[in-house]
Structure 1
């Protein structure tokens, strides 16, 4: 009888622990979602910054602040970075809106 009582108490304690830890288990998924959303926002901000830098480089070239050779090198680098950011956004499942 004593063994059955001990087993019963252990089962009851395990069940209670499982119920009490339920919200904590759900919080992990929410934390993962928040991290994912943060990564998407960071990548979106970086993408917009690259687009802005591309436009600024084009304006500098058109106003004569950059030579054609310098403009092409800068433009090539910025566009490569933008493409990489787009790939990373696509890999994270960004909607692209």
Structure 2
């Protein structure tokens, strides 16, 4: 077999490998997309939950259900958690609107 024949066989083998691997890669990409969307939904839900909790604890403070020291401590913790969630969303390429 001459050099041209070896090159042609090599090219054919690579082309066959690419043709076979393409559908498999597509399924993997879909799984990655589903995982990304799931993580995104979880983070968005957690963020909205923290925002709601911040509003609720502020209302509890304003209505006298908790004192100022407790409100500040709880508010600080909730805001730190919300900031961490925003950082994680930012790492996924999501901007808070």
TM-score band by shorter chain is 0.7 to 0.9
Q: Cα offset for 1:81?
A: 0.4
Alignment-derived partner of residue 76 in structure 2: 76
- Residues 1-60 of structure 1: per-residue CA shift (max 9 Å, x gap): xxxxxxx8xxx8986665344312211011111111111110000000000000110111
Cα distance in 2 between the residues matched to 1:87 and 1:69: 27
Alignment-derived partner of residue 91 in structure 1: 91
Question: Which ranges in structure 2 are unaligned for 5 or more consecutive residues?
Answer: 1-8
Cα distance in 1 between the residues matched to 2:86 and 2:14: 47
Question: Which ranges in structure 1 are unaligned for 5 or more consecutive residues?
Answer: 1-7
- TM-score, normalisation: structure 1: 0.78
- TM-score, normalisation: structure 2: 0.78
Are 1:67 and 2:67 matched, yes or no?
yes
Secondary structure class of the residue paired with 2:94:
coil
The two structures, once aligned, show a CA RMSD in angstroms of 2.2
